[in-house]
Structure 1
Amino acid sequence: MDKKYVYLFNEGNADMRELLGGKGANLAEMSSLGMPVPNGFTITTEACNKYYEDGEQISDEIRAQIEEYLGMLEKETGKKFGDRENPLLVSVRSGARASMPGMMDTILNLGINDVVAATIAEKTGNERFAYDSYRRFIQMFADVVKGLSKKRFEEIIDEVKAEKGKKDDLELDAEDMKELVARFKEFYRAELGEDFPTDPRTQMMEAIEAVFRSWNNERAIYYRRQNDIPSDWGTAVNVQMMVFGNMGEDCGTGVAFTRNPATGENKLYGEFLMNAQGEDVVAGVRTPQKIDQLKEVSPTAYEQFVDICSRLENHYKNMQDMEFTIENGKLFMLQTRNGKRTAQAALKVACDMVDEGLINTDEAIMMVEPQQLDALLHPMFDTAELKAATPITTALPASPGAAAGTVVFSAEEAIEEAAKGRQVILVRLETSPEDIQGMAAAQGILTVRGGMTSHAAVVARGMGACCVSGAGDITIDEEAGTFTVGGKTYGREDWISLDGSTGNVYGEKISTVPAEITGDFERFMEWADARRRLKIRTNADTPRDAAQAVEFGAEGIGLVRTEHMFFDGDKIKAIREMIVAKNDDQMEAALAKLEPLQQEDFEGIYEAMEGRPVTIRYLDPPLHEFVPHTPEEIAELAAEMNMDAEELQAVVDSLHEVNPMMGHRGSRLDVSNPGIARMQTEAVIRAAININRKHPDWNVVPEIMLPLIGDLKELKYVKKMVTDTADKILAEEGVDMDYHVGTMIEVPRAALKAGELAEEAEFFSFGTNDLTQLTFGFSRDDAGKFLPEYYSAKIYENDPFARLDQTGVGELVAIAAERGRKTRPDIKLGICGEHGGDPASIEFVDGLGLNYVSCSPYRVPIARLAAAQATIKNEKK
């Protein structure tokens, strides 16, 4: 063969994750460890990529290899596909190299048809089991391969139960299962105009294609973008001999974690169902039993499972998430992977494993996803209000945190309402993978069905969302848009609150309070801080934001946006007076009003930062942002300013630009209106003098940043205004105080001319928002309208305004850093755009040797951890 696209489990190992996917590599590894893994083979991620290269067709070469390895599997198992004597049934499952729980597709019981079902019934003496397996296969194949409605199949089951007078699926007997098979086939034929396929090989090839296709389903694409998983990784496909948990009461299936994924407690945690298949547990259709109860139900299998759990955790040195099946009392392992866990659990597991000697601190740092920390930084319920509130129901605490919002009943509704800025709670009978975007948009998720390992629970924990599941005493009426519990009905305008740590649900809005960094969190972050090279600053425009950032570990401010200080009270009036000034005297009068207001703001920020470095960016946006635009607003402002409305309208009209984001803004304003730079310099320097007199130990050294510079002469011109003003004030005050003047690199020309700019600039801060905007030619305000089509077409993987484009914008950053250092070896380099809080962007700039990143206050801990991980990764390169 030219290229090997298929591997038996016993041919692979854990180091082949990129080729075999996470599931395939782990199945191979468990097999090599001598664990009870049903035989099977893996079709590689390269086969998936070739499938797409070949126009979504499985090539003859790959088909031939699948047939060859199917023959090997038949030989290994002693069973044959479609055989009348000893039929082989298989599962077909996806398996990307990065865990994507619930995002792609699985088909169980493949290979069954009328003849095989009858054979299984005869051989096992269990007719119900045979036809239960058959109806499940039809249902999954029709959904995954053909896209038929899952809901309609559930309705058919409900119809049969109603006709037979039965309430539970388990009450359906063999004849009922045969009836379901017949009705499912009728539905399939009616919808597709063809009979359900009976040839097992046809079934398998179509299923494999469907799994490849699922790599690009909407929910998988969304998950990849959320978790930084490249589209060219592809998914592997695992074909594995079926073992059956639905053959009777000595059979079962379950999902378990080696530690509690919600709290991190070092105790086996999971659920199982007897006489069931795996999808029953994760779908939440039946309420499962806790894993501890397996000790009484199947003691031999339980003891073996506990031993395997211990071995797997010690082998992988990480908390494991496992799926298992018990067939006739015998245990089989179907999967292991590093378990998704809450942020709280992630920190506890990391700290505990260090204490247990399983891992070192570097390994602990790499175990926690930086984005997870976000869940620990946002508010929790106010204790006093919580104590006064009474739960309307209590269910399973599936994912911790606090959430309050009005009720919605569909993912689409959640997305729509969240887009309007509203807080919502998604209330569902049970969630499915298709709901992922709605779950992300909601403050929290409440489900009627499902356990701690249901889809809702697993996905919510992965995204750090609050979730309460299994609230069985709630009755939902989706058509009416209501749910009822305890005799009271709640609708779309009603507020409810969820406590994901206790499982309590409240029929009211409960306020929240800020989180604190203590305990495992504090200890873990000390490890990260000791390991990282990059300094972490914050973007803050108010003393409150600055203080919050310091609490979260910020080491300075990388960006104070001075324009944000102008938008309230007297400040907006003063800046409007400046804008409409007709002569120098009016301009100076307006600036004289602004200076003490700005100085007061800067003093507040210096106080909050307690001597840490503060970089202040001078006025950046175009002036039209400060004036009203509707006739009513203009008339109101004109009256306030003792102006004629028509005169003010003329001023507003004069500020209009065809493309204001590339127009009269940034340092261009200072060139046109030197008084602005002088006023801001006076405020910056006088504020620093006052704070240094008040706190001499702090030694505040102002860092003045000039925005949108593109030329050395331009920088020299504006810098001279700053230094002349600053030096004059320092001389008048008799103060010897350092200050620095630098620039933002946000115009592509500035990046290319960085060597020249460094002759005057003492520091560069990369304004990666504008640098991205000007490099791509995208408006960051409008790109969201067309970028989704770029993701679908695989032109871009991510929003370039959220994740730094390393090959384009990143190259400009690299060029500027190199050329700037050549001129001024000690130049300080940082980034202060939104990318400063993105882990992938942090890893990139750490590799370039920048000094710091700056991000919003609530992303500071995320950046601290991401910087530590970047150091560890870059050291290994």
Structure 2
Amino acid sequence: VWNEVVEAVRQLEADTGRTFGSGPSPLLVSVRSGAAQSMPGMMDTVLNLGLTPDLVEALAAESGDSAWADDTWSRFQKCYKDIVLAEVSESAPQSPPSDPWEQLRAAIGAVFDSWTNERVRSYRERHNLGEGTGTAVTVQAMVFGNRDDESGTGVLFSRDPSSGEPALYGEWLANAQGEDVVSGEQTPTQIGVLAEQKPELYAELNRIATILEKELRDLVDIEFTVESGRLYMLQCRQGKRSPAAAVRIAVDLAEAGIITRAEAISRVSAEHVESLLKSVQVDEEHDTDGVWATGLGASPGVASGHVARDLDEATTLTEQGKEVILVRKFTAPDDVPAMFQSVGVLTEVGGATSHAALVCREIGLPCVVGAGEGLVEKLAGRVITIDGTTGKVHAEGSVNTSSVTGNHYVRTLIEYASACDAADHPIRRLDAVTG
């Protein structure tokens, strides 16, 4: 397909007025994955591709901003080395090739190859997705959230993916690129801040999220970038959600006439129900030892376990029959196998739209993010309790918990199941809980 790739890049050049591989207006691209089933953060993405030292100078001359050109070059070098060159021998060159077309071909191959990495295998096994048929690769013209102070990037949900509340939910990071948000390496700003700081941008995001939710007839997860004040929508997909949110969103969409009641029932899985049956909440009146740390509740639920700081510790503790809380400075996609061995996840930095938080919400794993620097060492060897709703971290044994009883949305979905003659649907297992 390489000849078709070249033809398509030529079309990108015509659309953007820029040239791939040469100045004075070099075209940079991102190389992204796209499997049939959404697996956020599992496969690789290469950003800012198409730069060479000479083209960095061309970018600086065109923009009049050498600091931005240098930052973009540094980002590309690191990304290319970490993803495309990760599997090559140490004797091979450890920097991007001088030919941007060679960079592009190698990056496309690397994204295809990421289909078989360990985190993809773990994710697909955890969600019973089977072997599948591989991934698509998309090459997009870059837009730059790191361009200036009027630029930034963010992730937006049309509803709260933890509770299902019908209000915009998301995060924004000024003067940054998308990977800075979803990687969890930085702690972004809540999207609501834009309503005060950039009301026109917030209103436009709200308008687009409403359109896309109606189009997909479901919760949508949107990635966007602002370059020098101009909004670009990068991608949209059905959003990962907590079990509680799955129930509320299904009911709300059915009551609004957007989906049928039968569809609402089908959108709540057996795994969602199983998680709801196990859900508990902290009785904070009986917290005898205080709160050790507070972060952002990124995935609801309460979990207690031994602190594990990496996959090896998580594996060792699990083999000893102990439950594990994975505690990291931030979670990278490579941490997914350790997350699947854990009963909860806690990070020092990062936001609620990071890949780690998305994965936790989807499988009903309690998660607290951005709880403060130094926690990894402070909590080493301890047993802790985390509350993914309040974002609080407690000493294990210092809190009491109580079962989460059914709410209006659970009861309504049970009524749907009865009316639709879906007596065998897993949601009926909640009958005993709700009374």
After TM superposition, the score normalised by the length of structure 2 is 0.93
Do 1:398 and 1:467's aligned partners in 2 also have CA atoms closer than 8 Å? yes
Query: Residues 426 and 446 of structure 1 are in contact (CA less than 8 Å); yes or no, is this contact kept in structure 2?
Result: yes
Distance 1:535 1:430 in 2: 41
- C-alpha deviation, 1:195, in angstroms: 4.9
Q: Is the 8 A contact 1:447 1:456 kept in 2?
A: no
Q: Does structure 1 residue 519 correspond to structure 2 residue 408?
A: yes
Q: Bigger relative contact order, structure 1 or 2, given CA contacts below 8 A and separation 6+?
A: 2
Residue among 64, 82, 98 paired with 1:125: 64
Counterpart Cα distance in 2 of 1:536 and 1:274: 45
Distance in 1, matches of 2:20 and 2:72, equals 16
Q: Which residue of 2 aligns with 1:272?
A: 172
Query: Which residue number corresponds to residue 227 of structure 1?
Result: 127
Contact (CA 8 Å) 1:286, 1:450: kept in 2 or not? Answer: yes
Match of 2:417 among 511, 523, 528: 528
Deviation for aligned residue 1:473: 4.5
3-state SS in 1 of match to 2:192: helix
Alignment of 1:708-719 (within 5 A): none
1:610-644 Cα shifts (integer Å, max 9, x gaps): xxxxxxxxxxxxxxxxxxxxxxxxxxxxxxxxxxx
Greater share of helix residues, 1 or 2?
A: 1
Provide closer, same or farther for how the CA distance between residues 517 and 293 of structure 1 changes in structure 2, counting only shifts above 3 A: closer
Deviations 1:352-402 (A, max 9, x none): 122223222122123333312222111414637744452111110010001
1:498 and 2:386 equivalent? yes
Shift of 1:409: 0.7
Equivalent AA in structure 2 for residue 505 of structure 1:
V
Q: What is the correspondence of 1:241-320 to structure 2 with a 5 Å cutoff?
A: 241-320=141-220
- Partner secondary structure for residue 88 of structure 1: coil
2: CA distance between counterparts of 1:132 and 1:258? 32
- 1:286 Cα deviation after fit: 2.3
**Offset of 1:515 from its aligned partner?**
4.1
Between the aligned partners of 2:66 and 2:20, the Cα distance in structure 1 is 20
Matched to 1:520, the amino acid is Y
* Bigger Cα displacement from structure 2, 506-515 vs 351-360: 506-515
1:100 equivalenced with 2:100 (yes/no)? no
Q: Determine the C-alpha separation between the residues in 2 that align with 1:379 and 1:302.
A: 34
* Structure 1: segments with no counterpart, 5+ residues: 1-61, 149-187, 477-481, 484-489, 538-548, 555-857, 862-877
Q: Given the superposition, is the C-alpha separation of residues 331 and 269 from structure 1 closer, same or farther in structure 2, using an over 3 Å criterion?
A: same
Contact 1:415 1:442 in 2 (8 A): no
What is the distance in 1 between the residues matched to 2:134 and 2:414?
Answer: 34
Q: Partners of 1:408 and 1:329 in 2: how far apart?
A: 42
The 1:106/1:118 distance shift into structure 2, 3 A limit, reads: same
1:82 and 1:536, CA in 2 relative to 1: closer, same or farther beyond 3 A? closer
- Quote the Cα distance in structure 2 between the aligned partners of 1:379 and 1:421: 21
Residue identity opposite 2:215 in structure 1: H
Deviation at 1:504, TM superposition (A): 0.7
Listed one character per residue, the Cα deviations across residues 552-576 of structure 1 (whole Å, up to 9, x for unaligned) are 459xxxxxxxxxxxxxxxxxxxxxx
Displacement, 1:89?
0.5
CA separation in 1, counterparts of 2:180 and 2:224?
Answer: 13
Superposed displacement of residue 196, structure 1? 2.9
Determine the structure 2 residue equivalent to 1:445: 345
In the TM superposition, what is the alpha-carbon distance from 1:530 to its structure 2 partner?
Answer: 3.7
Q: Tell me how far 1:415 sits from its aligned partner.
A: 2.5
2:17 alignment counterpart: 78
Root mean square deviation, CA, Å: 2.4
**Offset of 1:516 from its aligned partner?**
3.1
Distance 1:362 1:253, change over 3 A: same
Rg comparison, structure with higher value: 1
For the pair 1:237 / 2:137, whether they are aligned, the reply is yes
Are 1:116 and 2:48 matched, yes or no?
A: no
> How far apart are the structure 1 equivalents of 2:243 and 2:91?
45
Q: What is the percentage of aligned positions where both structures have the same residue? A: 40
- Give the Cα–Cα distance (whole angstroms) in 2 for the partners of residues 356 and 550 of structure 1: 23
Distance in 1 separating the partners of 2:8 and 2:36: 22
Runs of at least 5 residues in structure 2 that lack an aligned partner in the other structure: none
1:134 aligns with 2:73: yes
State the 1:146 CA deviation: 1.5
**1:557 aligned partner:** none
Cα pair 2:219 2:249 within 8 Å, conserved: yes
TM-superposition CA deviations, 1:274-308 (whole Å, max 9, x none): 11000011122222111122234433333222211
Tell me the distance in 2 between the aligned counterparts of 1:121 and 1:340.
39
Match of 1:464 among 354, 364, 368: 364
Q: What amino acid maps onto 1:526 in structure 2?
A: E
- Give how far 1:443 is off: 1.4
2:253 match: 353
Write the letter of the residue equivalent to 1:499: D
Partner of 1:797: none
Q: Deviations over 1:212-265 (max 9, x none)?
A: 101111110111122222323311111000000001101110001011111111
Q: Summarize the alignment of residues 408-807 of structure 1 with structure 2, pairs less than 5 Å apart.
A: 408-476=308-376, 482-483=377-378, 490-492=379-381, 494-509=382-397, 510-532=399-421, 535=424, 552-553=430-431
Name the structure where strand makes up a greater proportion of residues. Answer: 2
For 2:347, the aligned partner's letter is T
Partner amino acid for 1:421?
G
Residue aligned with 1:281, SS? helix
User: Which secondary structure does the structure 2 equivalent of 1:196 belong to?
Assistant: coil
After superposition, give the CA deviation of every residue in 1:116-167 in whole Å (9 maximum; x if it has no partner): 111111111111111111111111111111117xxxxxxxxxxxxxxxxxxx
Cα 1:134–1:524 change in 2 (3 A) is same
Matched residue SS, 1:81: coil
| Residues 258 and 529 of structure 1: CA distance in aligned 2, closer, same or farther (over 3 Å) | same
Aligned to 1:546: none
How far did 1:96 drift? 0.6
Q: How many residues align?
A: 433
Number of the residue aligned with 1:866: none
Deviations 1:639-660 (A, max 9, x none): xxxxxxxxxxxxxxxxxxxxxx
Point out the more displaced range, 374-383 or 189-198. Answer: 189-198
Moved more, 132-141 or 512-521: 512-521
In structure 1, distance between residues paired with 2:273 and 2:350 = 26
Measured in 2, the distance between the counterparts of 1:473 and 1:269 equals 25
Range 356-365 or range 400-409, more displaced: 356-365
Alpha-carbon distance between aligned partners in 2 of 1:120 and 1:356, rounded to the nearest angstrom: 50
Of residues 232, 240, 244, the one that matches 1:344 is 244
The 3 A distance-change label for structure 1 pair 473 and 72 is closer
For the residue of structure 1 that corresponds to 2:48, the secondary structure is strand
Answering whether residue 270 of structure 2 is matched by residue 370 of structure 1, we say yes
Shift of 1:194: 5.6
- 1:177-196 equivalence runs, <5 A: 192-193=92-93, 195-196=95-96
**SS class of match (2:132):** helix
TM-aligned CA distance change 1:408 to 1:114, over 3 Å: same
Cα deviation 1:760-788 (Å, max 9, x = unaligned): xxxxxxxxxxxxxxxxxxxxxxxxxxxxx
- Whole-Å Cα distance in 1 between the matches of residues 93 and 332 of structure 2? 27
